Structure 1
């Protein structure tokens, strides 16, 4: 049996299930709300073996911004690792690589730039449907 504090239960009670697109849009919004924040990138995500890639993380990365959000934590985001972001946001390795890897972004990136990369992972067709809905 898992025990929760009253604050944790209140946060869980307010959680409304989000679709993949809603999670990605929220993540992009969190990044865009801090457009000048310098974010650390992850190095070599495309070269590491699967097991190592799953656990890799960098303090202050775009994934950290998502993990800082209490709504995402209450919805099940358990840490700011590559593997957890891939699972929670339902991203492919290629998509997440484009969002966080230093080979695309350099040693760091700004929040506004990271937000554009997250939105690109949604794809244009779902964004168009949402726009006209």
Structure 2
């Protein structure tokens, strides 16, 4: 095998560094999450109880088995991009969501014990905001 520098290899092939999934924007991440939820629109997903009342430290570690957060964590691309678990705090960090936005997606007070996948997907898309969706529509 002959050693060649990256510069030499560029003459033969286009070289891309890293995994393209790792470079998703916030909007792309949220859109992908919504698409994952829509794959099973009638799936009943667990909710988290009392996210608005829990102390900060407790809220960060809140999780529910089979929640919309679990759907995101099950995605290989999200894990490769740095999603480390299906907790409230990790989802808030990874998707760059405010407490209010994440509360609207996963909290028991909005849906009861479970939320359907398609409804959670709509809530995820609403967290994207209006202007990014308008730009994507015309792009």
Q: Do these two structures clear the TM 0.5 threshold for a shared fold by scoring above it?
A: yes
Q: 2:46 aligns with which of 40, 44, 50?
A: 40
Contact persistence 2:47–2:115 (CA under 8 A): yes
- TM-score where L is the length of structure 2: 0.85
Please give the secondary structure, in 1, of the residue aligned with 2:23.
Answer: coil
TM-score, scaled relative to structure 1: 0.89
Question: Aligned pair 1:80/2:86, yes or no?
Answer: yes
Q: Which runs of 5+ in 1 are unaligned?
A: 1-11
SS in structure 2 at match of 1:15: helix
1:98 aligns with 2:111: no
Q: Deviations over 1:44-83 (max 9, x none)?
A: 0000000000000000000000000000000000000000
Higher gyration radius (CA)? 2
The structural deviation recorded for 1:16 is: 3.9
Matched with 1:124 is 130
Which ranges of 4 or more aligned residues in structure 1 deviate by more than 2 Å? 12-16
Structure 2 unaligned spans of 5+: 1-17
Give the total of aligned pairs: 122
CA distance in 1, matches of 2:86, 2:116: 17
